[in-house]
Structure 1
């Protein structure tokens, strides 16, 4: 009984953290889209990456048991950091080229791809339903091209690249999370890499920035720090194939923000595509809740 209650509390904690994450990351994405209209990616990420990395160090030192930012999985952390840098740049330009809510269909593919990769990468059992969910998600993406593939543009290709890179980052995060309890290290190193790489590119892209935009960039860093820390904690509480489908709540936030801030009203095709992708994610959740007596197993920590 005690074990069952503890498991239930862990599930509720993971779900709650994921809901908070979707609100924080959607707000950060909105600021990204605002910046993408006037600035290049390095100008936002040089500042935000440095701020988030600094916040990670400060929070680490302020904790009851400071652990520093060392990691026991340096190669996986390097992979996560590299994927974060490239994925952040790809998403930045995807937001510039596509309507805000439309990017969601690509973001929502991350849990579906993650569900398939959780087998070979994380040692978690992948049931056949995962393949069906991915196929349904692909049909949802095709709703963006009712006129055929010729209606797809550069923005869609950039968004797809961002999704693949984001999936690599998340899988690396889960791999590290079950082996290394230092959550802030996962926040520090990817953002340090993002800030450092962007700072090197900044002289080629710099544009004058007013105090208001500087304030938005600082707020973006705070939202991003909160979102990434919460997400790492969520992955620590629950497996990737449970947490990531819940991220589809982000579509609701993106539709509301897109309409309120950017005046974008999604068409019927986007809602249909989102419904299919969300259904695919819900399918995975149902399969996890009622797996027919089978449970996924993680690779033992090294």
Structure 2
């Protein structure tokens, strides 16, 4: 049983690595679009595309369960948090360099550790807390000047990180009740498409075919990434998944240098090394032979929004 449990968790770690590559590409497109168009123009179109892709993917499943959810209230909370998080990240990318935004992305594991207890009832081991603290220190290495001179972009980034973490925690919460991963992609993006569509007439600007192609590419990357993340959250504890997501730093260093001319300092590379090391340590700790087997599904925490 133990080898199967290890393989199950290793597969989850691999899915998270794929997710970081997909979302880094989507973030690069967001930064480019944010310099030319308002948030509703990106998210109304991309959200609608993801909704359509979800419906098409659901029609090709062998088990026709549809996109129904057994956790409507929890799904509504996840959807609302997702809408605010994506808009906040949009403004953060518009106002800040990549490195500054990912200072706050690096805080996501800390937020996840704080939320996992009351919402998911998952006990975070002391060794894992040590890895989380190390990850935070690694992110701080990216900014030796500290957090002086906070601007609007930093507030947007902080809000995005908090609500983005809550959305992921809710994904794992819902995953304990149902296994319909597509539903967790469909409903948040439906909420994005509707809310951004309402604002779209007020901010619309003419677009070229190249811009539309970028938004379509963004939607495909987002669809694939969010689907992969939901599946990964069903295989690993939230506090393990979120530090692994800091692998995204490596992708962002490459994208920032190639497409935006942002060349990190030595402190950036040191921070990336510490962050990635803390994520690998969490995987080692999760697969430690001294860790008793833990069932995949468990009782939810104190949040009682759905059965």
Q: Are residue 73 (structure 1) and residue 53 (structure 2) matched?
A: no
What is the CA distance between 1:103 and its match in structure 2?
Answer: 2.3
Pick one of 209, 212, 220 that aligns with 1:211.
209
Check whether the contact 1:24–1:224 (CA below 8 A) recurs between aligned residues: yes
Q: Structure 1: how far apart are the matches of 2:127 and 2:293?
A: 14
What is the CA distance between 1:240 and its match in structure 2?
Answer: 1.6
Per-residue CA deviations over 1:254-301 (Å, capped at 9, x if unaligned) read: 100110111111123433444444444444434433385456676337
Per-residue CA deviations over 1:232-263 (Å, capped at 9, x if unaligned) read: 11112222223222212111111001101111
SS in 2 for 1:237: coil
Q: Which residue of 1 aligns with 2:304?
A: none
User: Which stretch of the first structure deviates more once superposed, 149-158 or 68-77?
Assistant: 149-158
Q: Structure 2: how far apart are the matches of 1:16 and 1:173?
A: 18
Q: Structure 2: how far apart are the matches of 1:23 and 1:10?
A: 21
Aligned pairs for 1:197-276 (under 5 A) are 197-276=195-274
What is the CA distance between 1:203 and its match in structure 2?
Answer: 1.4
Check whether the contact 2:250–2:272 (CA below 8 A) recurs between aligned residues: no
Q: Are residue 169 (structure 1) and residue 167 (structure 2) matched?
A: yes
Q: Structure 2: how far apart are the matches of 1:56 and 1:8?
A: 30
Pick one of 91, 94, 97 that aligns with 1:93.
91
Q: Which residue of 2 aligns with 1:38?
A: 36
Per-residue CA deviations over 1:86-121 (Å, capped at 9, x if unaligned) read: 000011111111222442232232123212321221
Q: Structure 1: how far apart are the matches of 2:258 and 2:225?
A: 22
Q: Structure 2: how far apart are the matches of 1:126 and 1:8?
A: 18
For structure 2, the 5+ residue unaligned runs are 301-306
SS in 1 for 2:125: coil
Q: Structure 2: how far apart are the matches of 1:299 and 1:6?
A: 18
- Provide TM-score, normalisation by structure 2: 0.89
Per-residue CA deviations over 1:163-189 (Å, capped at 9, x if unaligned) read: 001100000000001111111000000
Q: Which residue of 2 aligns with 1:289?
A: 287
Q: Structure 1: how far apart are the matches of 2:211 and 2:257?
A: 21
Q: Structure 1: how far apart are the matches of 2:290 and 2:111?
A: 22
Q: Structure 2: how far apart are the matches of 1:108 and 1:235?
A: 18
Work out the number of aligned pairs and report it.
300
- 1:261/1:5 CA distance change after superposition, 3 Å: same
What is the CA distance between 1:12 and its match in structure 2?
Answer: 2.9
SS in 2 for 1:70: coil
Alignment root-mean-square deviation, CA = 2.2
- Provide TM-score, normalisation by structure 1: 0.91
Q: Are residue 18 (structure 1) and residue 19 (structure 2) matched?
A: no
Q: Structure 2: how far apart are the matches of 1:290 and 1:264?
A: 39
What is the CA distance between 1:150 and its match in structure 2?
Answer: 2.9
